[in-house]
């Protein structure tokens, strides 16, 4: 099994946590998102992943993009330490929180959006920061109010779920962009608890071979 990713991509980071959590052996293949205009745009990679984004998982003949689809696939093939509740309503709530992060926070802040705001509309660094902080702040406020009802050690009680795998990389990103996280005590507590687990430590961006 091969995972094409980038150390600082929060979508790739989610998948790394799943792989380490389930103790699945994999080969990590770095795709440098910045160097030479971005290796994700090279034709060999675009053939694997037409969206020209990371991550991509290759498992035998299967070439799979989208981190949440990859994590669900891994969970079906390696059911140990499952990241999804069995009950349908609980599973749906977990998926919804994962999507609150993956659809409402992350896409507005990723590298290609930052680059486009600068190149097309001449936004300066401080404006790009205003943009990022706005969407992260709004998104985290919604997540915080959910966690007030559902969190235990992790986002949903004391069992790790895919929601935690989305939350930790997004908070890593927020810290990188110096968002004030003091209004989100439940988020901070859950992230602190996750970062006690070996899978989360192994998956940290700075612990990847391509970290700079």
Q: How far is the CB of 185 from a copy of itself (least distance, A)?
A: 16
CA-based angle 94:182:202, to the nearest 5? Answer: 55
The minimum distance between CB 202 and a copy of itself, in angstroms, equals 24
Draw the binding track, 127-166, toward a copy of itself (x: CB under 8 A; -: no contact): x--xx--x----x-xx--xx--------------------
Q: How far apart are CA 17 and CA 166, in angstroms?
A: 10
- Candidate list 42, 62, 81, 195; residue touching a copy of itself; CB under 8 A: 62
Contact window for a copy of itself (CB under 8 A) among 87-95, 152-160, 172-180, 185-193: 87-95
Q: How far is the CB of 35 from a copy of itself (least distance, A)?
A: 21
Task: Verify cis geometry, omega within 30 degrees of 0, for the bond prior to 55.
Answer: yes
How many other C-beta atoms can be found within 10 angstroms of the C-beta atom of residue 58?
Answer: 17
121 binds a copy of itself (CB under 8 A): yes
Residue 123, burial from CB neighbour count under 10 angstroms (0-12, 13-18, 19+): middle
Is 70 a residue that touches a copy of itself (CB under 8 A)?
A: yes
Report d(CA 45, CA 149) in Å as an integer.
42
């Amino acid at each position: 099994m091969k995972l094409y990713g980038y150390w600082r991509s929060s979508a790739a980071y989610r998948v790394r946590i799943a792989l380490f959590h389930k103790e699945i052996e994999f080969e990590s293949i770095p795709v440098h998102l910045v160097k030479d205009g971005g290796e994700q745009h090279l034709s060999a990679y675009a053939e694997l992943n037409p969206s020209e984004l990371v991550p991509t998982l290759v498992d035998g003949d299967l070439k799979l993009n989208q981190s949440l689809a990859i994590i669900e696939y891994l969970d079906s093939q390696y059911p140990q330490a499952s990241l999804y509740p069995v009950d349908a309503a609980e599973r749906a709530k977990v998926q919804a929180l994962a999507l609150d992060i993956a659809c409402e926070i992350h896409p507005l802040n990723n590298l290609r959006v930052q680059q486009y705001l600068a190149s097309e509309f001449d936004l300066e660094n401080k404006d790009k920061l205003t943009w990022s902080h706005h969407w992260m702040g709004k998104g985290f406020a919604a997540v915080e109010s959910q966690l007030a009802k559902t969190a235990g050690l992790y986002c949903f009680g004391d069992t790790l779920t895919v929601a935690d795998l989305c939350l930790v990389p997004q908070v890593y990103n927020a810290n990188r962009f110096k968002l004030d996280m003091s209004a989100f005590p439940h988020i901070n507590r859950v992230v602190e608890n996750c970062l006690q687990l070996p899978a989360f430590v192994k998956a940290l961006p700075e612990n990847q071979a391509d970290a700079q």
